Amino acid sequence: MTFLELNLIEPILQALQEEGYTNPTPIQEQAIPPVLNGEDLLGCAQTGTGKTAAFSLPLIQRLHQAGPAQPAKAIRALILTPTRELALQIGESIEAYGRHTKLKHTVIFGGVGQVPQVEKIQRGVDILVATPGRLLDLMNQGLLSLKFIQTFILDEADRMLDMGFIHDVRKVIDKIPTDRQTLLFSATMPQEIQKLSSSILRDPVYVEVTPVSSTAEKIEQKVYFVDKMEKRALLKHLLKEGGISRALVFSRTKHGADRIAKDLSRAGISAQSIHGDKAQSTRVKALTQFKNNELQALVATDIAARGIDVDDLTHVINVDLPNEPETYVHRIGRTGRAGAEGLALSFCDDTELPYLRDIERLTKQTIPVEKDHPFQAKLEKLPIAGGRATDKVRSGGGNSGGSQRRGPRTGGGQGNRQPAQAQGSSQGGGGNRDRRSSGGNRSGRR
């Protein structure tokens, strides 16, 4: 299918052509028609699936076809998202896709001065992209009104829940008209999000793309068993000797991210860190440098990295394994996007073995052990439930390792580029039922 077959208008098709996009992703193929028809939608989708275009393209078309706002300068669409980075990237997408329309938009978030944001709102915007805190702050000051909202989009609802924003989200929902179109996207559907969706959606179309565990199948993965005290030395070795031109590096803590970035810089490796304690201007500058290939390494915590979408990123390095296996899949999904090759390297010390086992259970893969490095830790085989052996890390040299069975991979490039999604795990679309076609995923009413 092409975008032309989705009945998109010429100004949008022209913008997509200029961006180099010709074929919709599965979620775009399934979501765009019902959203164009004004229906509510519940999307179970990770970042990397193309969901930003799935909601922004039909939104732009509906607003463009409706003509100027009535009353003038009224905000007609609200996109609520959990992080500043994701809000900015959604704003960039709307700018690109709507460049041949007369629609206006702006992005508001905390951590920076509010005056420029308020001035742009007062000049009139059709689409407002916002994080909950700054939005409620400006509403409480009487600086913006949501009473003319026609379309409400809640993105990454489960992340809103994880970050403690659900109460703020409900406050916002109470201030927008009940007669509206609502789209809700979430990577997972915990009970709290199910309750929220049932309370705000009316007879929604349900769209689901490939579950999180399958994302890892597309990306080559390796695990390095290493003593905790040797992790930064191993990272410097890989960045200097491993032929890695650019890597997104994950640390579990803010302090750890800063320490890693400083250590790399002292070693002559261009690096910056981003996390929640950094000023927004500093984070944006670091991300821009990374995108422009001015940094070899961007060291991030999970929340700061949410929404980072960098073209042609070849390597993700987990200096610390996350304690939630889903987070691992979100992390490595930053690479290997849109059919490109990607490599995820993870460091594992003896305290992180339970995390590694959880990751392998979720992804149904045994991650190959890379032994050819100077910081290899000794391993002692230990039996675990199910009869499979795992590895206990002992500091020091040695070359005994775990299983080398490689999980299934899908490789090769796609014939055409697809609109990138602003945020988390890259996914494909095979294997589920679709109510409209024999394609890869499942949609319908729930």
Instruction: Over range 380-405, report the average pLDDT.
Output: 38
Please name the residue ranges forming H helices in 201-349. Answer: 212-215, 231-241, 254-266, 280-291, 302-305, 325-332
pLDDT at 39: 98
Alpha carbon distance 343, 316 (integer Å): 7
* pLDDT winner (highest mean) among 194-203, 299-308, 339-348, 377-386: 194-203
DSSP classification of residue 417: B
Determine the angle formed by the axes of helices 51-66 and 26-36, rounding to 10 degrees: 30
* pLDDT winner (highest mean) among 42-56, 83-97, 330-344: 83-97
Alpha carbon distance 154, 43 (integer Å): 10
pLDDT at 414 over 70: no
35 token code pair: 């959203």
Residue keyed to tokens 């069975």: 405
User: Cβ contacts of residue 160 below 8 Å, gap of 6+?
Assistant: 80, 82, 132, 154, 166, 169
Alpha carbon distance 111, 72 (integer Å): 29
The pLDDT confidence band at residue 95, using thresholds 50, 70 and 90, is very high
pLDDT at 212: 54
Task: Give the number of other Cβ atoms within 10 Å of residue 344's Cβ.
Answer: 25
Instruction: Over range 426-430, report the average pLDDT.
Output: 35
Total residue count of the chain as it appears in this document? 446
pLDDT at 347: 96
pLDDT at 210: 64
Q: What's the mean pLDDT when you consider all of the chain?
A: 82
User: Cβ contacts of residue 433 below 8 Å, gap of 6+?
Assistant: 442
Instruction: Over range 188-192, report the average pLDDT.
Output: 85
User: Cβ contacts of residue 70 below 8 Å, gap of 6+?
Assistant: none
Q: What is the pLDDT of residues 153-180, one digit of tens each?
A: 999 998 898 788 999 999 999 999 999 9
pLDDT at 258 over 90: yes
Instruction: Over range 84-111, report the average pLDDT.
Output: 93
Q: What is the pLDDT of residues 286-321, one digit of tens each?
A: 988 998 999 999 999 876 666 677 777 889 999 999
pLDDT at 246 over 60: yes
Residue keyed to tokens 């979100």: 330
pLDDT at 1: 81
The pLDDT confidence band at residue 364, using thresholds 50, 70 and 90, is confident
CATH 3.40.50.300 positions along the chain are 3-212+419-445, 220-394
153 membership: H or E segment, kind and range: strand 151-154
Alpha carbon distance 364, 358 (integer Å): 10
pLDDT at 185: 94
Instruction: Write the CATH number of the domain with boundaries 3-212+419-445.
Output: 3.40.50.300
259 token code pair: 């320490």
Contact 155, 43 (CB under 8 A): no
Please give the model's pTM, rounded to 2 decimal places: 0.61
Instruction: Write the CATH number of the domain with boundaries 220-394.
Output: 3.40.50.300
Percent of the chain whose predicted confidence (pLDDT) is above 70: 80
Instruction: Over range 236-261, report the average pLDDT.
Output: 93
Q: Residue 142 in 3-state DSSP? A: coil
111 token code pair: 């951590």
pLDDT at 403 over 70: no
Task: Read off the amino acid at residue 14.
Answer: Q
